[in-house]
Structure 1
């Protein structure tokens, strides 16, 4: 078994548990940074030279072989460039899902299988259940507070057959995971968690995009098309955003304004009241199913962001797309985001939001 070791506490404990369970484990750290000699800024990164050293020390303590695999070019093409292109097109991507889909359970898994490994183990909080017929299902972690099944919703049944998540079926707090790491002698026991986007070490997404896409002044409009202000790049906004609009005067009713729509062609950002964000339905493309796709319309729950809650929906697959109607209107839904469908704790699959229907005349 190949254990993906980021240099953090979760992946180190997962590798240790896999080895303790009797698996023949080899640790591997993925060198994903375009500048692998860079050092961590605060607690944000997860692919710096420091992280590689931390992963190697953990593997030494566990007593397993360890290697560093350079997937930086693949990561740049499939994750970073995709991230930039999505924002340039006015959409809001989730790079963690793309990394799991394209890197950890595609490039890494393919290489692992080619070398004779039978599975990839990670420190994600989720569970894989094997059914009597040999097929597998992806479920939420036992501890809902740490569940990461949303970012794994891109895995298909073949990938699930070669995935192992040793942390997913235990009701342990992060403090207990750290205590376990300390008992095992792992120096990463007190290492801070990584946050935000790993390839934007300083956390300044707008600055990162500006460096890649440049500044292009455009108009901030209200729902009637009246110009309220200017921006320096529509890519710096996302649907539902409230802060950073820098409008010179308040709305007539004195209420906050939110981003309702982004048009990269016209380079405009449309803002309006919170109620104009209410979404009643959506259409999502490029569905990926964690097993067999739904064959008829049905009632499910959906999750729209990594740390968001569930909402009841009616969903169906039509013309290769996932179409969802919400039982109650929801807000903060942006094209480019992933919607992950659940049946109880089981992950049915995920798709990329292409368009939304709103309860007002605001465009979706």
Structure 2
């Protein structure tokens, strides 16, 4: 098969491309230029898409003897990922940009362009497995639980999975680095990048403030309704946050306070004690199914963070909405986050959380 290997310039995508070549495929390396003004060098492990990364990817492609191209998707990345991220925070929600990038860039824009050019699919360095099931190809958790990235791939549909290849899903990360070193790849010891890739310094609040400006509002006690402080914008807060609230414990009975809700229309951030954070009912929209969609009530596992724990749950699907009842309360779940549903190791699908509550 003719396959595009998405090469970020890191160790994982380098080994993934090499394995696809070893498997006998006709491989072409592609680096995605996602920044409108790419830096020359990385500033930290969070950054990506620098000229250094593109150069690292090119050197791996040269060593493998495969063609290499840079595809400029910066404008679409800005619109579909970065701007979506900014507007979601402005609306008081907490998005996951990695899911949006996988959905709209790597397995929409990239895959669509690859297919239009006559390729059969796209290979990436994600840690996940695609296995044949009774209804077609299925997305499963990776063998390495510490590196499993099936959560951020839970937005892929069956058609995209049919064209997706994840050669690292059955390997441990240590083995991948060792293989890279044995192949002579200079990126063998390169640090892993961390999300959020377009906030290289890790200061999400600062990034959002530069985009949105200051939008002052009130910090309000969620129980009494009393105003207990002020803030510079709801975009600087997310449910479960404890630090950076600007509150003195002495004014609030000495107990630490957390963000328990964000009311963007009224520019209010609701704060309360830890016992108010736990929820066990989630409602979600923007449903994405990795295979045949479930209907009615089904018993599944639910995960609400990329590196979070799977929780036993039941899910009821009706039309374009899913209601997930968690087996226990989970703290800090915010609208805008994604809930990914599992059946064993298989990813059933995902939804964007629109509301949370507690069962009576």
TM-score range (shorter-chain normalised) is over 0.9
Deviation at 1:336, TM superposition (A): 0.1
| 1:265 counterpart SS class | helix
Distance of 2:92 and 2:27 partners within structure 1: 43
Aligned to 2:32: 30
Aligned to 1:152: 153
Aligned to 2:168: 167
Structure 2 length-normalised TM: 0.97
Aligned to 2:130: 128
Gaps of 5+ in 2: none
Aligned to 1:328: 328
Aligned to 1:42: 44
Deviation at 1:166, TM superposition (A): 0.3
Aligned to 2:78: 76
Structure 1 length-normalised TM: 0.96
| 1:29 counterpart SS class | strand
Aligned to 1:229: 229
Please say if 1:319 is aligned against 2:323: no
Deviation at 1:319, TM superposition (A): 3.2
Contact persistence 2:295–2:318 (CA under 8 A): no
Distance of 2:39 and 2:256 partners within structure 1: 44
Contact persistence 2:99–2:153 (CA under 8 A): yes
Q: How many residues align?
A: 357
Structure 1 residues 1-364: aligned runs within 5 Å: 1-131=3-133, 135-170=136-171, 172=172, 174-223=173-222, 224-250=224-250, 252-358=252-358
Distance of 2:354 and 2:257 partners within structure 1: 23
Contact persistence 2:281–2:359 (CA under 8 A): no
Deviation at 1:37, TM superposition (A): 4.4
| 1:148 counterpart SS class | coil
Distance of 1:30 and 1:186 partners within structure 2: 20
Distance of 1:216 and 1:2 partners within structure 2: 44
Distance of 1:8 and 1:329 partners within structure 2: 37
The RMSD of aligned alpha carbons is: 1.3
Distance of 2:280 and 2:351 partners within structure 1: 17
Distance of 1:349 and 1:196 partners within structure 2: 22
